[in-house]
Structure 1
Amino acid sequence: MVNLRLGSIAPDFKAETSAGDIEFHKWAGDDWVMLFSHPTSTLAVCTTELGGLAKRHEEFKQRGVKLLGLSANDVASHHEWIKDVDEISGSSLSFPIIGDKERKVATTYDMLDALDASNVDALGLPLTVRSVFIIDPKKVIRLIISYPASTGRNVDELLRVIDSLQVSAKYKVATPVDWVPGQDVIVANSVKKEEADQLFPGYKSVKPYLRYTADPSKK
Structure 2
Amino acid sequence: MESNEQVYAMPRIGDIAPDFEAVTTTGKIKFSEFAKDKWIVMFSHPADFTPVCTTEMSGFAQRQDEFTAMNSELIGLSIDSIHSHLAWVNNVREKTGVYFQFPIIADLDMHVSKLYGMLQPNESETAAVRAVFFIDPAKKIRLIMYYPLNVGRNMDEIVRVLQALQFSDKHKVAIPLNWKPGDQVIVPPPKTLAEMDARIADTTCEKIDFYLAKKTI
Matched letter for residue 80 of structure 1: A
Residue of structure 2 equivalent to 1:130: 130
* Match among 201, 204, 208 for residue 202 of structure 1: 204
* Match among 64, 89, 104 for residue 97 of structure 1: 104
* SS in structure 1 at match of 2:34: helix
Residue of structure 2 equivalent to 1:110: 117
Which residues of 2 match residues 49-88 of structure 1 at below 5 A?
A: 49-88=56-95
Residue of structure 1 equivalent to 2:180: 180
| Paired residues of 1:37 and 1:129 also in contact (CA < 8 A) | yes
Distance 1:139 1:157 in 2: 21
| Paired residues of 1:174 and 1:187 also in contact (CA < 8 A) | yes
Q: Percent identity?
A: 41
Q: Compute the displacement of 1:3 (Å).
A: 3.3
Matched letter for residue 128 of structure 1: A
Structure 2: stretches of 5+ with no match in the other structure: 1-7
How many aligned positions are there?
206
Structure showing greater Rg: 2
| Paired residues of 2:196 and 2:210 also in contact (CA < 8 A) | no
| Paired residues of 1:48 and 1:85 also in contact (CA < 8 A) | no
Structure 1 residues 185-194 or 159-168, which shifts more?
Answer: 185-194
Matched letter for residue 48 of structure 1: T
Distance 2:72 2:52 in 1: 23
| Paired residues of 1:113 and 1:128 also in contact (CA < 8 A) | yes
Q: Compute the displacement of 1:86 (Å).
A: 2.4
Residue of structure 2 equivalent to 1:122: none
* SS in structure 1 at match of 2:23: strand
Is residue 25 of structure 1 aligned with residue 32 of structure 2? yes
Matched letter for residue 33 of structure 1: I
Matched letter for residue 157 of structure 1: E
Could you say if the C-alpha distance between residues 77 and 190 of structure 1 is closer, same or farther in structure 2, counting changes exceeding 3 Å?
Answer: farther
* SS in structure 2 at match of 1:60: helix
| Paired residues of 1:51 and 1:86 also in contact (CA < 8 A) | no
Could you say if the C-alpha distance between residues 178 and 72 of structure 1 is closer, same or farther in structure 2, counting changes exceeding 3 Å?
Answer: same
Could you say if the C-alpha distance between residues 211 and 15 of structure 1 is closer, same or farther in structure 2, counting changes exceeding 3 Å?
Answer: same
Q: What whole-Å deviation, never above 9, does each CA across 1:114-147 have from its counterpart, x for those lacking one?
A: 113xx4xxxxx52100011000001110001100
Could you say if the C-alpha distance between residues 78 and 182 of structure 1 is closer, same or farther in structure 2, counting changes exceeding 3 Å?
Answer: same
Could you say if the C-alpha distance between residues 201 and 87 of structure 1 is closer, same or farther in structure 2, counting changes exceeding 3 Å?
Answer: farther
| Paired residues of 1:34 and 1:133 also in contact (CA < 8 A) | yes
* SS in structure 2 at match of 1:159: helix
Could you say if the C-alpha distance between residues 4 and 194 of structure 1 is closer, same or farther in structure 2, counting changes exceeding 3 Å?
Answer: farther
Report the TM-score, using the length of structure 2 for normalisation: 0.89
* SS in structure 2 at match of 1:173: coil
| Paired residues of 1:52 and 1:89 also in contact (CA < 8 A) | no
Could you say if the C-alpha distance between residues 10 and 189 of structure 1 is closer, same or farther in structure 2, counting changes exceeding 3 Å?
Answer: same
Distance 2:130 2:114 in 1: 14
Matched letter for residue 128 of structure 2: T
Structure 1: stretches of 5+ with no match in the other structure: 120-124
Report the TM-score, using the length of structure 1 for normalisation: 0.88
* SS in structure 2 at match of 1:146: strand
Distance 1:28 1:68 in 2: 10
